[in-house]
Structure 1
Amino acid sequence: MPPLTPFTSHLLALLFSSSYVGSIYVARSARTRLTSSNAGSRDDPPVIRARLIAATLTSAFNCVVLYVVVARSDYPLPWNATLAMLGVSWPATILSCLQTPVLFLGPLYASFVASTLPGQAHYSVKRDFSNVFCTWIGFRNYLWGPLTEEIVFRACVLAVYALCSARRGMMIAFAPLMFGLAHVHHAWDTYTRGGRTTAALKRALISTLFQAAYTTLFGAHASFLFLRTSSLLPPLTAHIFCNIMGIPQLGYELRRTPAYRTSIQVAYVLGIVGFAGTLVPWTAVPAGGEESLYWRAPEMFARFFGA
């Protein structure tokens, strides 16, 4: 028998996700409030710092909960197995960390022809790097936010589902829903910052539904990378890269450089084709290497289950 039942795994996954989201509302300093300026918004540095502390403590708490679950199970695994389940390891191939950027071949090429990539004529270190990454917003969006979210929504959530011998197809399809729903709380901030009007409510609903759908799709891809490699690094680098790139803006890019309209469209198509073509081979274990711990699910912990 597996250490956990499906019901217990669902409860633990709900605990992990709800505690992560709920923690940012526990401290008064982490809550947003409506003001005439940026003060009190989710992008206000004091609010960001308070929420980062909350996310860090919650991530650590969830990792401890996972360790306790493993240690107290009928078939306890050694303590370092908890680290393995959390993906604290290097992937078998660095290509697994480069697979997601292939999808953005179109936007990258459009930036290249517009000379906005690093080192090109229209790139500004101050405007495009310092003012973007060297801020509290940048630290949250491009480092600590992705790191804590991947620890909780990928490593911890997928670990408890693996411990109930869930099929990997189910984990790829279902677990990301937790990640998508975790972003729904942004609707309240959008609504309040918009003046709590009917128009603000519509904007909040539309933007939140889009964000939930987008993050759920990304969550499925990140879950695939984690299960395929048993390493947190590939989904983490994918998360950071996607946050940096944002949603592709094909229409804007075609208007910005109309002379390259056809080549940009071709680059977009090649990116999609390349992404699909590299998804499996670039995440495969090289010949002679050890197969992913998670990709063997549900047989991965069979020797500990008494099978």
Structure 2
Amino acid sequence: MSLLDYTKALLNPTGLTGPSGLPLLPISIAHILALSFAAIYVGSLYVSNHTRLSFATDVDGKGVSAGVLQERERKANERWRDDPDVIRARLIAVSMASLTCCTAVEAIIATSTNATVLEVMNLTRKHLGFTLGSSLRPHLITPILFLGPLYATYLQQTLPFQKFWFPKQKFLNLIGLRTYTLGPLTEEIVFRACVLAPYHLAGCSPTKMVFLTPLSFGLAHAHHAWDTYNRYGRTRQAALKAVLGSTFQLIYTTLFGFHAAYLFLRTGSLLPAFSAHAFCNIMGFPEVAYEIRTWPHRKYLIILLYLLGIVGYVYTLPRWTETPGSIFWPSA
């Protein structure tokens, strides 16, 4: 690959092409790779006894009050998702899975081109979005969407430096490291960067990539249903909670996937998608009905800020993410 070809490759919105001008990968291979990356990530959570969860075989609703759906007491010989040793083992596992997927993307680029080692490294970095980005504005889009929930957080006095803000209890522990840092980072590396790269190499349009790829991210969360079913006593109610919870999680993680994929492709950087992911994990799912019931005297202001958040999101999303030179999205 000449320097001219290399420069064209970085600026080509339809991906790298071979000598015939066709995409380097067929779309069928891109599908297989995307599913493989998702399987590697989720599979890493069950690859060893240290990462796998274990539940007692004699539960069957014991320890759960009749008619009340509540989490049962954990038995001494069980391994639950929030156990410190489980979290540590899983963080190591998903970090290794992320490295494996990144290496696979680099190998695909290396074997599909005659580029030098340095060119392959640069192309891989670009395709994985390992850049700082050119602006802070993309990082502000998600908080704008959450104007309503942020106001409710202010009313709860749990914003940074307010009365009930406790960063040590929420962030500076293993659960915080998993939920707000390494979890979102490794998920965005795999389900955004590594999954989107093969589709870009296959010549998919940005629109197709935005709406085609997030489903794997949503489905990757389905395994939480087994955890919920066991923790809530293996009752019929527990099964219903697991199914409904996983369905809801599939929907909102897929919707978030559209948002994160758009941020990644428009900016050419993984950082806006990661910051959006971490922010959403911190905020949780918006609960406007609960907030209105809790602060009825602020009802109209809460509703107004929710609406302003939506309007602000629609306005800023295409404008604040435009990044000249992004290899994924041609400039207007």
Give the TM-score normalised by structure 1.
0.91
Match of 1:282 among 310, 320, 328: 320
CA positional deviation for 1:75: 5.5
The match for 1:123 is 164
Q: Please report the RMSD computed on the Cα atoms of aligned residues, expressed in angstroms.
A: 1.5
Instruction: Among all aligned residue pairs of Structure 1 and Structure 2, give the percentage whose two residues are the same amino acid.
Output: 47
Match of 2:37 in 1: 16
Taking a change above 3 Å as real, the CA distance of residues 232 and 260 of structure 1, as seen in their structure-2 partners, is: same
Give the C-alpha shift of residue 111 in structure 1. Answer: 2.2
The aligned residue for residue 226 of structure 1 is 264
Matches of 2:195 and 2:240 in 1, distance apart?
32
CA shift for structure 1 position 109: 1.3
Identify the residue that residue 64 of structure 1 maps to in structure 2.
103
Residue 79 of structure 2, aligned match among 40, 47, 50: 40
Structure 2 unaligned residues grouped into runs of 5+: 1-21, 57-72
Instruction: Report the count of equivalent residues.
Output: 289
Q: TM-score, normalised by structure 2?
A: 0.84
Distance 2:175 2:82 in 1: 6
The 5 Å alignment of 1:84-233 reads: 84-120=126-162, 122-125=163-166, 129-233=167-271
SS in 2 for 1:78: helix
Contact persistence 1:33–1:41 (CA under 8 A): yes
Distance 1:41 1:157 in 2: 29
Query: Per-residue deviation at 1:74?
Result: 4.2
Aligned-pair CA distance for 1:269: 0.6
CA distance in 1, matches of 2:137, 2:165: 29
**2:29 partner SS:** helix
Q: What do residues 123-145 of structure 1 show as CA deviations (whole Å, max 9, x unaligned)?
A: 243xxx21111111110000000
Contact 2:129 2:264 in 1 (8 A): yes
1:192 Cα deviation after fit:
1.5
Aligned counterparts of 1:187 and 1:114: Cα–Cα separation in 2: 31
* CA distance, structure 2, for counterparts of residue 281 and residue 207 of structure 1: 35
Report what 1:4 is aligned to.
25
Deviating runs (4+, > 4 A) in structure 1? 74-77
- 1:264-295 CA-to-partner distances (Å, cap 9, x unmatched) read 1111110111111101111113xxxx421111
User: Larger radius of gyration, structure 1 or 2?
Assistant: 2
Q: What is the CA–CA distance in structure 2 between the aligned matches of 1:266 and 1:69, rounded to whole Å?
A: 49
Deviation at 1:21, TM superposition (A): 0.2
Structure 1 stretches lacking a partner, 5+ long: 298-307
